[in-house]
Homo-oligomer: A and B are copies of this chain.
Amino acid sequence: MKARVLVTLKPGVLDPQGKAIHHALEGLGFDGVNDVRAGKLIELDLADDTDDAAIEDMCRKLLANTVIENFKIERLG
């Protein structure tokens, strides 16, 4: 079973990497970019009997820093 975890900075947390990407896009001539936020993507290949609670546990214990980051789990079947 495949799952992916999307880790994003919480709103209000400064994101210098996103800001740098934003400026670079403008420098390349891309108009209409209002905001950019950078995050992490973690793709997991898991045993089929892994339940959502286990994945959430992985996120809380290792994959995300819940003080400053949100995470979202998406099962890909």
Interface set of A (CB-CB < 8 Å, partner B)? 4, 6-8, 18, 21, 24-25, 28, 30-47, 49-50, 54, 57-58, 61-63
Known pairs A37-B42, A38-B41, A40-B40. 4 more at Cβ < 8 A? Answer: A21-B63, A28-B61, A33-B47, A39-B41
Q: Are A45 and B33 touching (Cβ within 8 A)?
A: yes
Residues in B whose Cβ lies below 8 Å from that of A49? 32
- Which of A31, A46, A63 has the largest count of B CB atoms less than 10 A from its CB? A46
Contact, CB under 8 Å: A50 / B32: yes
Measured CA separation A41–B7 after assembly (Å): 8
Chain B residues near A8 (CB-CB < 8 A): 41, 43
Given A32-B49, A44-B36, A45-B33; A62-B6 close (CB under 8 Å): no
